Amino acid sequence: MDPVASQRAPILAEPLTSVAAYVDLFAETEGRQYEVVDGQPVVSPSPDGAHQVCVRDLLLSLHATCPPGHEVMVAPWDWVLWELPRLTIRQPDLTVVRSELAAAARLTGPPLLAVEVLSSGSFERDAVAKRAEYAQAGLDDYWVVDPQSSEIFVHQRQGDELRLTSVVAASTPVTVESPFTVSVHLHPAGG
């Protein structure tokens, strides 16, 4: 099988406009995780080891300091940003949600925090497109994390936008204050 073809999402003649249509379409595609943007399914290449080590470090840090009544969720877990006019579903690498939402099939409102870890070629998607979508969906706190530089780009809601408010170098233990106090240490890529 062509490895590139196996990572392509189908192109739909009619865009998806509901979660039910999304569930029906992908009921038979076990093991493949799709996001949906403007009604069309998209699939990203599998993350590399540096990405996964970074996700692990962040998961441990967030889990250790998560506010009471909240849980840290790891991708793939669908966040339905909106259904109309065309369905948009994203799967942030990490989200912090209220505990009662953790057992849901998918998230239908903004989490307390969404985190995306950059992969090769994902800067435009994670730092620009998703940031705008997440702001439109009502998110107040968003981190974009670069595993190569061990930097956390902290974005917070300002009006209708998520704006960059700080850049935290986490190659040594540091504290991030938003949306709650978290001590973070990201191990260098390959180290």
For every residue of 19-81, DSSP letters joined together read HHHHHHHTTT-TT---EEETTEEE--PPP-HHHHHHHHHHHHHHHHHPPTTEEEEESS--EEE
Q: Which residues contact 99 (CB under 8 A, 6 or more apart)?
A: 69, 70, 71
* Ranges in the chain, pLDDT < 50: 1-6
CATH 3.90.1570.10 for the 47-78+90-184 domain, yes or no: yes
Q: How many CB atoms lie within 10 A of CB 12?
A: 13
Taking the mean position of all CA atoms in its chain, how far away is CA 173?
23
By the 8 A CB rule, do 67 and 187 touch? no
Instruction: Domain ranges for the chain, please list them.
Output: 47-78+90-184
pLDDT of residue 53: 94
* Each residue's pLDDT tens digit, 32-66: 578 899 888 888 778 889 999 999 999 999 999 99
C-alpha torsion angle, residues 133, 106, 113, 89 (rounded to 10): -20
Tell if the pTM clears 0.75, that is, is over it. yes
| Per-residue confidence (pLDDT) for residue 43, from 0 to 100 | 82
